């Protein structure tokens, strides 16, 4: 029996959607700039609404806007006609999505927006639609060929999603949202892990294994055993970091000299230890450790690179990123 091969169908669908996106790209104009400026300057919430598949796209765009620092939520057109329009205030921005622009379910919310002078951004494909005519800012998307019977919402919803993503990213750039800001909205999950900084995981205070450079190696051996990090951070009398000692160094020096415990720390330490800023991403710190074949890094504050404020060990990273 001949096996079904659906790869041609898959490629046809993707080709249609790529073609739709190219048409969308050609449609982007000054109205897009106006929409971004309006969202950036919004003093309240950005509320999205659509019907059917457009409603699902509205929910996704709303979630993306919220994740980049623009307060947003989506509403059901049907529920709005039964009391939920009370959630929309005059300071909000309303983004309505409808491929045809003539979804009957949107008429009540459009009338409400117009009566209350709520800024309305419309995303639709037809200039003769009532959504186009009612919108303050008109984001016209192209009419496209749908995959699957020429009717199943596919190419059109890809375009709706894409212009929503473009609005969110443009807003992010205009607001100058940094990775550190983004982390505030994504504390968990794989994104949260990728955005953790050294400051989130480093050991501080009494947990940092400090030793003065003039101390004996006998004392250094006691501290490194007690702290159980396999590392000592060496400082001078002014608390400036001058070096580092690892248990690997100690083993090598012990093989070279039987009287290592009589030596001073500054005679054994490695000068200029590898350090990172507290705002360094954890995955970057791990990359440095792997490339340098070390297990820990000194952490400093940008204001004073010579003073260690923490230590991060490879075990801290691995236990928090798996």
At 150 the pLDDT is 86
Measured distance CA(286)–CA(278) in Å, rounded: 13
At 202 the pLDDT is 93
At 190 the pLDDT is 63
Q: Chain-wide mean pLDDT for the chain?
A: 90
At 82 the pLDDT is 80
At 158 the pLDDT is 97
CA distances from 125 to 38, 88, 100, 159 (A): 21, 25, 6, 10
At 4 the pLDDT is 77
Q: Which residue carries 């951004």 as its tokens?
A: 121
Domains belonging to the chain, first-starting first, are 7-177 (3.40.50.10490), 198-321 (3.10.580.10)
At 2 the pLDDT is 62
275 in Cβ contact with 262 (< 8 Å): no
Give the orientation angle of helix 7-27 with respect to helix 155-175, to 10 degrees: 50
Tens of pLDDT, residue by residue over 61-71, are 999 999 888 99
Per-residue model confidence as pLDDT tens for the chain (322 residues): 467 789 999 999 999 999 999 999 999 999 999 999 999 999 999 999 999 999 999 999 999 999 888 999 999 888 887 878 888 999 999 999 999 999 999 999 999 999 999 999 999 999 999 999 999 999 999 999 999 888 999 999 999 999 999 999 999 999 888 777 776 666 666 666 677 889 989 999 999 999 999 999 889 888 988 888 889 999 999 999 999 998 888 888 777 777 787 888 898 899 989 999 998 988 899 999 999 888 899 999 888 888 999 999 988 888 876 5
CA distances from 59 to 8, 63, 75, 96, 321 (A): 31, 6, 8, 11, 29
């Amino acid at each position: 029996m001949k096996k079904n091969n659906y790869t041609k169908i898959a490629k046809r669908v993707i080709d249609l959607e790529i073609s739709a996106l190219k048409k969308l790209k050609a449609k982007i104009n000054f109205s897009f700039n106006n929409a971004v400026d309006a969202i950036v300057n919004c003093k309240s919430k950005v509320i999205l609404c659509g019907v059917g598949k457009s409603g699902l796209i509205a929910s996704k765009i709303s979630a993306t806007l919220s994740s980049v620092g623009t307060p947003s939520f989506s509403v059901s057109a049907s529920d709005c006609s039964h009391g939920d329009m009370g959630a929309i205030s005059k300071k909000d921005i309303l983004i309505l999505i409808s491929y045809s622009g003539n979804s009957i379910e949107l008429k009540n919310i459009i009338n409400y927006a117009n009566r209350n002078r709520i800024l309305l951004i419309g995303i639709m494909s037809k200039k003769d639609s009532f959504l186009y005519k009612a919108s303050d800012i008109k984001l016209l998307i192209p009419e496209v060929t749908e995959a699957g019977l020429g009717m199943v919402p596919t190419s059109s919803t890809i375009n709706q999603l894409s212009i929503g993503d473009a609005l969110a990213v443009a807003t992010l750039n205009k607001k100058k949202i940094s990775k550190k800001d983004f982390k505030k909205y994504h504390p968990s999950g794989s994104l949260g892990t990728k955005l953790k900084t050294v400051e989130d995981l480093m050991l501080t205070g009494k947990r940092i294994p400090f030793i003065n450079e003039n101390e004996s190696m006998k004392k250094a051996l006691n501290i490194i055993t007690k702290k159980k990090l396999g590392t000592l951070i060496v400082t001078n009398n002014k608390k400036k970091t001058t070096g580092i000692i690892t248990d690997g160094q100690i083993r090598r020096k012990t093989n070279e000299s039987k009287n290592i415990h009589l030596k001073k720390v500054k005679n054994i330490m490695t000068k200029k230890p590898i350090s990172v800023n507290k705002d360094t991403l954890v995955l970057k710190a791990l990359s440095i450790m792997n490339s340098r074949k070390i297990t820990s890094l000194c952490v400093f504050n940008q204001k004073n690179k010579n003073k260690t404020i923490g230590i991060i060990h490879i075990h801290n990273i691995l236990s928090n990123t798996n």
